[in-house]
Chain A
Amino acid sequence: MPAAEVVGALGTRFSATPYALGVELHATALLEAARALRDAHGYRYYVLASAIERKETIEVVHAVRHPDTHDTIFLKAALAKDALEIDSLAYVWSGAEWHEREVFDLFGVRFRGHPDLRRILMPDEYEGHPLRKDFPMDTPWGYRPAKTEPAP
């Protein structure tokens, strides 16, 4: 559960709006808010990064935690689908490195300043981002047998 005063402080400083699990903020404010959260509020434990695809946007989500109070706060930033780029948090919490690689791999969100932005779960030469809603489900990469057998 997010601590109310931390949510309030982020709200006034970065014009973030609270929601059930944490705060929603503008993509340009994410990096500064993350630094403030770690240094001023003591949220030093990294939990996860994820992304949620909505109709118009893709929301990038980071979850971090205070190691003593066990308060977890989610930072959420929405990106337009034609501009999928956001600041990387890998130098704020090193745990974000692989999680951001996973979001890049499965959603195609690019992380600015990430030390090593490669695919992590899918093969390097894979095309497309499988967790996108428009990813064609009926053509798995390379594994589908041809519909018509070639003539002998």
Chain B
Amino acid sequence: MSAPIEVVEREFGELALNMGPQHPSTHGVLRLILHLSGETVVKADPSIGYLHRGVEKLSEHLAYDQLAPVYERDDYLAPTANSHAYCLAVEALGKIEVPPRGRWMRAFVAEWQRVSSHLVWLGTLGLDLGGALGGGTTLYMHCFREREKILDLLEELTGTRYHTNMNMIGGCRYDLDGAMAAKSVALSAEIARALPELHALAGDTGIFRERTEGVGVITKDLALSLGVTGPTLRASGFPTDIRTAAPYDAYPELRFEIPVRQAGDALARYQVRMDEIAISLRLVDAIVEGLPPGPLFSRKPIKNPKATKLPAGETYVAVESPRGELGFHLVSDGTAQPLRLKINAPSFANLQAVPHLLPGGLVADVVAILGSLDPVMGDVDR
């Protein structure tokens, strides 16, 4: 005689799911602890720090002239933005002049890297949204094909494709000659021609719009209180751009518009970034056209970096990196090393929105929201 069948009723509560730190959609080493009810996210807890290299601690042990290349490793999709902000901070504290041509060349590389960084963002967003966009890799390959040409141009200009070491305190290293200027103009026209193609593969498709429209809305109040920055802030209706709000280098002399969207969702962030690519392409042309003659660098050749000392004081200088406001809060006590250097990273500020955006959405929205925020983990963890 068999025992009666026992019926056990079990209630499924929340499921805690680990996403990352090795997940391909987390853009590096971000770990998200998702609390799920069914397929709906109830709570999200990002865990960061897997790429923490102690750059701020290292700053307190190196001389000022040795530090600019160190910061280029932070935000590895737009390396010059980091050294750019650092050099501006040191120049502000040390009252070091930069010659006009040096300032314009900095902006030249910064704008090309903005385009290249946004192309990486669009390509990886295509990968994240995956099968919905023609197998995913289609958009990725188109973006990386265009980006490759920019890296080739930067290689010809600076000798390296990526960490260009362009900026140094008091100016920059590499000069643009006539042949390279012509190449830059031709390249910007070429990428401008490819932009409609990228739109056709991404924003113009119904599937892309359905995955991003109304997803991950950052309201105006939340955007201000969290301090999100860059395209994420502009997609929430604030036309704030450091290049016009607190202009530096060549930007006071350049005219350009700031794209704004009111919706605050993932689609708005896509539209702002795509507009920015087109504007940056026009900007590099304007820079090539208006490049003033003269020297690139204002200081004597540096033989002993430890001899460079800054007066005691405190300053905060920010640049508009492709991800937003990248600020350096530099405190000097008059010695050859910073007393304290805080990097205000745009990805850190933007990633902070994640616990506010994910609850209520589906797991599939997580990758769309993360992709639209464009965090770079090297920038978040420093």
Name A's B-contacting residues (CB within 8 A).
19-21, 44-48, 50-53, 61, 63, 67, 70, 72, 74, 93-95, 97-98, 106, 119-123, 130-131, 135, 137
CA distance A120 to B331 in the complex (A): 23
- Residue contact B316 to A74, C-beta cutoff 8 Å: yes
CA distance A45 to B315 in the complex (A): 19
- Residue contact B225 to A48, C-beta cutoff 8 Å: no
CA distance A70 to B224 in the complex (A): 12
**Contacting residue for B344 out of A44, A47, A70, CB 8 A:** A47
**Contacting residue for B331 out of A52, A98, A123, A137, CB 8 A:** A52
- Residue contact A95 to B352, C-beta cutoff 8 Å: yes
- Residue contact B240 to A67, C-beta cutoff 8 Å: yes
Interface residues on B, range: 35 or more
Contact of A50 with B342 at beta-carbon distance under 8 Å, contacts A61-B329, A131-B56 already known: yes
Residues of B within 8 A of A94 (CB): 222, 225-226, 356
Measured between C-beta atoms, what is the minimum distance from A133 to chain B in Å? Answer: 8
- Residue contact A121 to B316, C-beta cutoff 8 Å: no
Chain B 343-382 near chain A by CB (<8 Å), digits 1 or 0? 0100011001000100000000000000000000000011
Measured between C-beta atoms, what is the minimum distance from B236 to chain A in Å? Answer: 11
Measured between C-beta atoms, what is the minimum distance from B61 to chain A in Å? Answer: 8
Measured between C-beta atoms, what is the minimum distance from B311 to chain A in Å? Answer: 12
Residues of B within 8 A of A47 (CB): 227, 325, 327, 344
Per DSSP, chain B at the interface is mixed
Leading 4 A-B pairs by shortest Cβ distance:
A95-B227, A46-B227, A121-B49, A50-B342
CA distance A119 to B48 in the complex (A): 10
Look across to chain B and name the residue whose beta carbon is closest to the beta carbon of A43.
B224
CA distance A98 to B56 in the complex (A): 17
Chain B 309-334 near chain A by CB (<8 Å), digits 1 or 0? 00001111000000001010101000
CA distance A44 to B223 in the complex (A): 10
Chain B 230-265 near chain A by CB (<8 Å), digits 1 or 0? 000000001010000110000000000000000000
Q: Is B145 an interface residue (CB 8 A)?
A: no
Q: Is B142 an interface residue (CB 8 A)?
A: no
Q: Is B54 an interface residue (CB 8 A)?
A: yes
Look across to chain B and name the residue whose beta carbon is closest to the beta carbon of A46.
B227
- Residue contact B227 to A21, C-beta cutoff 8 Å: no
Measured between C-beta atoms, what is the minimum distance from A144 to chain B in Å? Answer: 15
Residues of B within 8 A of A95 (CB): 225-227, 349, 352
Look across to chain A and name the residue whose beta carbon is closest to the beta carbon of B342.
A50
Measured between C-beta atoms, what is the minimum distance from A47 to chain B in Å? Answer: 6
21 contacts between A and B (CB under 8 A): A44-B224, A45-B224, A45-B227, A46-B225, A47-B227, A47-B325, A47-B327, A50-B329, A52-B331, A63-B329, A72-B316, A93-B226, A94-B226, A94-B356, A95-B352, A98-B352, A120-B48, A122-B49, A123-B49, A130-B57, A131-B56
Q: Which of B263-314 contact A (CB under 8 A)?
A: 313-314
CA distance A53 to B341 in the complex (A): 11
Known: A48-B227, A97-B352. 8 other contacts (CB 8 A): A21-B316, A47-B327, A48-B344, A98-B348, A98-B352, A120-B49, A121-B381, A135-B57
Q: Is B340 an interface residue (CB 8 A)?
A: yes
Residues of A within 8 A of B325 (CB): 47
Q: Is B52 an interface residue (CB 8 A)?
A: yes
Contact of A46 with B226 at beta-carbon distance under 8 Å, contacts A121-B381, A123-B49 already known: yes
- Residue contact A121 to B52, C-beta cutoff 8 Å: yes
Residues of A within 8 A of B313 (CB): 20
- Residue contact A21 to B315, C-beta cutoff 8 Å: yes
- Residue contact B225 to A70, C-beta cutoff 8 Å: no
Residues of B within 8 A of A98 (CB): 348, 352
- Residue contact A131 to B57, C-beta cutoff 8 Å: yes
Residues of A within 8 A of B339 (CB): 52-53
CA distance A53 to B331 in the complex (A): 10
Residues of A within 8 A of B382 (CB): 121
Look across to chain B and name the residue whose beta carbon is closest to the beta carbon of A38.
B225
Look across to chain B and name the residue whose beta carbon is closest to the beta carbon of A65.
B227
- Residue contact B327 to A48, C-beta cutoff 8 Å: yes
CA distance A104 to B368 in the complex (A): 31
Measured between C-beta atoms, what is the minimum distance from B345 to chain A in Å? Answer: 9
